[in-house]
Amino acid sequence: MAQGRSVLRFLLLALLIGCVLVGVGLYVATTQTGIKTVLGWMWDRPVDLKLVGRGPSEPLEIANLTVANRPGFGDGPFFEADSMRLDFRPWVLVRKGFDKLELIRPRLSLVINEKGEANFGGVGGSGGWGWFFPVERIRFTEGQVRFEDRVQKKNWLAEGVGWRTTFLPAARGVTSAGWFQIGRMDWSSEQDDARLDSLNFEYKLTVLPSSSKAFPGWLSRLRGSARYDAQSAGIYQNVWGTARFGESGIIVESFHCAVYDGYLDLHGNVDYQNDRLLVKGTAEMDGMAADRLLTEGLKLNLPLSGLMTMTVTMTGEVDAALKPVGETWKAQGRAQVKRGKLVNWSWLQRVAGHVKELGNLDLENVDVEDLDAPFEVTHDTIVFHDLTVRVEGIDCTLAGSLGRGPAGRLDLVLDLDMPLAQLNLGGFGQILSAFLRGDSGRIPVRLHIRGTKKQPLVEMSMLPGVGR
């Protein structure tokens, strides 16, 4: 009995000491000096602020929060916010953490200097907390994030950044649901400049404590689903879609946008495989400007105008740095143009120049109708399977391959049902024309195109079944 009373006294004493420590901790953490000390320990940086509301019976409110930059990165702050509000209930603080964190106009500056050192390196180093903060709900409004990489010569600025999330109970990892938004984002590099407008991202995601064995990194730690939309993202307009994150990879359920004056629908999978990502997808394009799609999008020197419809199935790999592994990418599909024009295609003019019999053809402005082009593409070759087209009223069929790039190799067979009047056959042409009753006759002609794009070699032959 006496032993039981001793245990009870010990428990009551421990509870009393615990309450005193919590009370002291709350007092320290709700004074201006105490808050500076705690935040400075968490960020491992000098912190300045102005305490407005003191808690613990009321929310903790801070104005003019500033976190200093790492030495050697200038006098500008690493992080600042106009105000911070922290709601909490003392009786649940130890068990659940803070109720809500709200930041007004947070501004974050991320810099990598010429030596490759980052000003965000070592954040939370001595305290060991890093970015961890036990809070149930977070809300940011009117935020700004600036990033500058002086090694890679690229930078971006995101404005109108907002984030609202609620952390939910989870058996493993951290689960949260909410939304993220960017009003405008501009980025530039030595290669190009681009802009993002009005991005909204809604999600319910779990971040697991460890990544997939199949693919290392943060991406394979995600589980859940997301929906996104944006007014514009670079050349893409009215973007929206949905995605799911699972153990084996990411399922892009839908991606829709307007681009090149037409529409793009895309869906596919991103599978985790060893140290790479295997990408498989199908893209459907409708009503796109053919010249922009071919020259800007696919980097093909083919000045074909008109509205193009295309369906493409593609596969390829991306490495752990999220860079495409070039030789693994391949695609197959079908492109169609109802009516269009080939304008001043220098390569076609070079090919025709090697065949004196085609000297009567005007190839500077060529009308194209009913183009139907089944194709396959690898990292270095384009293959056509019985491409059919009507060019200036001439029915044509093309099959074979051509190498990508200016010096790509050629192995193409082009069959044309040529009007006799457009063939430069000299005196033999006059005899053949009389035999075929003037200009109404046509001659099946085959061109075998070899060599390279810079130096094509062309052989011409007449096919059986002359005239009709």
Tell me the pLDDT tens digit for each residue of 283-320. 999 999 999 998 888 877 778 899 999 999 999 999 87
- So what's the pLDDT on residue 357? 52
Output b/e per residue, 139-161; b: 16+ Cβ within 10 A: bbebbbbebbbeeeebbbebebb
Both 63 and 157 in one domain: the answer is: yes
Indicate the number of domains in the chain: 2
Domain presence at residue 10? no
Both 270 and 411 in one domain: the answer is: no
Residue 452 pLDDT level (bands cut at 50, 70, 90): confident
Domain presence at residue 338? no
> What mean pLDDT do residues 69-93 have?
82
Domain presence at residue 317? yes
Q: Are 164 and 181 in contact (CB under 8 A)?
A: no
pTM: predicted TM-score of the whole model, two decimal places: 0.77
Domain presence at residue 373? yes
> What mean pLDDT do residues 318-346 have?
86
Joined tokens for residue 21: 């420590």
Both 250 and 385 in one domain: the answer is: no
Q: Are 179 and 164 in contact (CB under 8 A)?
A: yes
Both 241 and 374 in one domain: the answer is: no
Q: Summarize pLDDT for 132-168 with one digit per residue, the tens.
A: 557 888 999 999 999 999 898 999 999 999 999 998 8
Both 303 and 431 in one domain: the answer is: no
| pLDDT higher than threshold 90 for residue 436 | no
Both 393 and 413 in one domain: the answer is: yes
Which structural domain, as residue segments, surrounds residue 91? 30-333
Domain presence at residue 3? no
The last residue of one of the domains, among 292, 312, 333, is 333
> What mean pLDDT do residues 361-369 have?
75
Q: Are 452 and 430 in contact (CB under 8 A)?
A: no
Domain presence at residue 16? no
The last residue of one of the domains, among 333, 352, 368, is 333
Report the sign of the C-alpha dihedral through residues 89, 94, 100, 102, in that order: positive
Helix axes 2-29, 32-43, angle to 10 degrees: 90
The last residue of one of the domains, among 333, 365, 392, is 333
Both 109 and 218 in one domain: the answer is: yes
Both 41 and 99 in one domain: the answer is: yes
- So what's the pLDDT on residue 40? 79
Both 165 and 286 in one domain: the answer is: yes
Tell me the C-alpha to C-alpha distance, in Å, between residue 306 and each of 287, 369, 393, 399. 9, 10, 17, 22
Q: Are 72 and 65 in contact (CB under 8 A)?
A: no
Longest dimension (CA), the chain: 131
| pLDDT higher than threshold 60 for residue 2 | no
CA atoms within 13 A on the CB side of 40: 11
* Backbone dihedral angles phi then psi of residue 352, each to the nearest 5 degrees: -65, -30
Integer Cα distance of 373 and 326 in angstroms? 24
Peptide bond into 56 cis (omega under 30): yes
Domain presence at residue 17? no
Q: For 8-105, list the strands marked E by DSSP.
A: 47-54, 60-67, 79-87, 98-104
Both 374 and 290 in one domain: the answer is: no
Report how far Cα 2 is from the mean position of its chain's Cα atoms. 71
Domain presence at residue 13? no
Q: One-letter amino acid identity for 22?
A: V
Both 350 and 323 in one domain: the answer is: no
Smallest CA-to-CA distance from 382 within 344, 451, 337, 330 is with 330
* H or E element that contains 39: helix 32-43
Residue with tokens 């009393």: 16
Both 96 and 35 in one domain: the answer is: yes
